[in-house]
């Protein structure tokens, strides 16, 4: 079997009302999705999604005519493209989906078969006043989620703490709570500085008082020394790495003792092939590996296959914050959104590959470029 064509399409869903993401000062009036299809001479097609595939144009010949199952070879080519141009890891996801279809196995089995499901936490995306945040937490409990992540970024961390206090007061211990401090990186238009180590220690002690499970992205992503110092100062778990670009940076984060929880996203760094390495590094150092998954449903499912098949972890990120971030918005490329069961688990099927079913009519209606 040979790869005959790599098809890349871009799609845009209009959002009305806009989505006010906690980590973005600009309200989002649309949500884009890039779909990658890898075609073969036997009619099988692998599907992936994630970044825009910037820089991939002109490199198609490095894959066309090759056996799609040479995944390690393809990963090395993609890693070189990543260095010189852009993040083209959706192609790796499509190759894994294709590998499952070729072998007749779901990807979670190909990746190790440890489990067919992941226990999720509801990952909120918007900033609400304290009472509204507590209302949201109660809705998550009613949906069966065992845990919830709350966003900070209200301008003053004291306001963030008040929202967290309101949630804890309302729900008690009914949910495990995580906090995303959103200090690790900025979008291009947002130029304000991240917290200092002293800021993070002060906030972290408040989070410990409120029984928070982990403190995510509390410092700039490159400040490994301060992350290590923070980790030694506080008892709370320190999490990060969602936007880390290179695999060797995870090695260095581990060596520096900077993190308890590693959160790379297969759509953004290394694909599934690369992140298998990170998952095993985390395991060998008794750290938690649980992928970031704030993309569309194809990315959520791909990261779930990786985590279920290979990793021991506590909670898996499930982006969900209706009405601003509903399943219909997040998973518009799919016929059936990726959802959780009554106990907050994503259950992966035995369908070959990732089990994606694209909504071709909706993709046709939302196609751009």
**Three-state DSSP class for residue 112:** coil
Query: 44 vs 35, 101, 127, 145, CA distance in Å?
Result: 16, 7, 43, 36
Q: In the predicted model, is pLDDT for residue 221 greater than 90? A: yes
- Whole-number Å distance between alpha carbons of 2 and 5: 9
Structure token digits, residue 252: 């260095």
Query: 83 vs 50, 56, 88, 208, CA distance in Å?
Result: 17, 12, 10, 39
Give me the pLDDT at residue 146, please. 98
Give me the pLDDT at residue 28, please. 96
Q: Which tens digit of pLDDT belongs to each residue from 347-364? A: 999 999 999 999 999 999
Give me the pLDDT at residue 287, please. 97
261: pLDDT confidence band, cut at 50, 70 and 90? very high
Which residue spans of the chain are classified as CATH 3.20.20.120? 110-347
148 within 8 A of 125, measured Cβ to Cβ:
no
Residues found in the chain: 369
Which residue spans of the chain are classified as CATH 3.30.390.10? 3-104
213 within 8 A of 176, measured Cβ to Cβ:
yes
Percentage of residues of the chain with pLDDT beyond 90: 99
Bridge-based pairing of strands 117-123 and 45-50 is unpaired
H helices within the chain, ranges in order? 71-84, 90-103, 107-110, 130-143, 157-171, 197-209, 224-233, 247-255, 271-284, 297-310, 327-330, 360-366
Give me the pLDDT at residue 195, please. 97
Which residues contact residue 173 at a Cβ distance below 8 angstroms, ignoring those fewer than 6 apart?
Answer: 211
The partner residues of 262 in beta bridges, in order of sequence, read: 240, 289
Give me the pLDDT at residue 248, please. 95
Q: Which tens digit of pLDDT belongs to each residue from 51-98? A: 999 999 999 999 999 999 999 999 999 999 999 999 999 999 999 999
Give me the pLDDT at residue 313, please. 83
Assess if CATH 3.75.10.10 describes domain 3-104: no
| DSSP-derived secondary structure letter, 314 | S
CATH class of 110-347: alpha beta
Give me the pLDDT at residue 369, please. 86
CA dihedral 157, 149, 234, 131 (to 10 degrees): 40
Structure token digits, residue 50: 């994630």
Q: Which tens digit of pLDDT belongs to each residue from 142-188? A: 999 999 999 999 999 999 999 999 999 999 999 999 999 999 999 99
Q: Which tens digit of pLDDT belongs to each residue from 308-348? A: 999 988 899 999 999 999 999 999 999 999 999 999 999 99
**Three-state DSSP class for residue 117:** strand
200: pLDDT confidence band, cut at 50, 70 and 90? very high
Q: What is the pTM of this model?
A: 0.97
Which residues contact residue 139 at a Cβ distance below 8 angstroms, ignoring those fewer than 6 apart?
Answer: none
Average confidence score pLDDT of the chain: 97
């Amino acid at each position: 079997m040979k790869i005959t064509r790599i098809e890349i399409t871009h799609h845009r869903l209009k959002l009305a009302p806009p989505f006010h993401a906690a980590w973005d000062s600009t309200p989002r009036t649309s949500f884009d999705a890039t779909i990658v299809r890898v075609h073969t001479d036997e009619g099988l097609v692998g599907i992936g999604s994630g970044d825009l595939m910037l820089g991939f144009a002109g490199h198609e010949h490095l894959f066309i005519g090759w056996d799609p199952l040479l995944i390690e070879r393809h990963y090395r080519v993609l890693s070189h493209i990543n260095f010189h141009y852009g993040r083209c890891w959706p192609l790796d996801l499509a190759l894994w989906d294709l590998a499952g279809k070729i072998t007749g196995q779901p990807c979670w089995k190909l990746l190790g078969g440890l489990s067919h499901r992941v226990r999720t936490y509801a990952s909120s995306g918007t900033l609400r006043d304290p009472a509204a945040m507590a209302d949201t937490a109660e809705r998550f409990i009613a949906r069966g989620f065992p845990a919830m992540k709350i966003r900070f970024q209200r301008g003053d961390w004291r306001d963030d703490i008040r929202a967290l206090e309101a949630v804890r007061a309302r729900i008690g211990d009914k949910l495990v709570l995580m906090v995303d401090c959103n200090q690790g990186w900025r979008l291009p238009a947002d130029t304000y500085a991240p917290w200092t180590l002293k800021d993070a220690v002060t906030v972290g002690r408040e989070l410990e008082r409120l029984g928070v499970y982990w403190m995510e992205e509390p410092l700039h992503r490159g400040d490994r020394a301060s992350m290590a110092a923070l980790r030694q100062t506080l008892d709370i778990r320190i999490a990060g790495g969602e936007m880390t670009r290179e695999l060797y940076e995870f090695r260095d984060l581990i060596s520096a003792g900077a993190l308890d929880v590693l959160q790379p996203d297969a759509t953004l760094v290394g694909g599934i092939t690369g992140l298998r390495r990170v998952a095993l590094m985390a395991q060998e150092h008794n750290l938690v590996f649980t992928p970031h998954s704030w993309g569309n449903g194809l990315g959520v499912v791909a990261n779930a296959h990786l985590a279920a098949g290979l990793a021991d972890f506590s909670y898996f990120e499930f982006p969900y914050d209706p009405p601003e971030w509903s399943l219909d918005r997040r998973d518009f490329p799919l016929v059936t959104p990726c959802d959780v069961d009554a106990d907050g688990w994503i259950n992966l099927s035995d369908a070959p590959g990732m089990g994606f079913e694209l909504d071709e009519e909706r993709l046709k209606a939302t196609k751009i470029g």
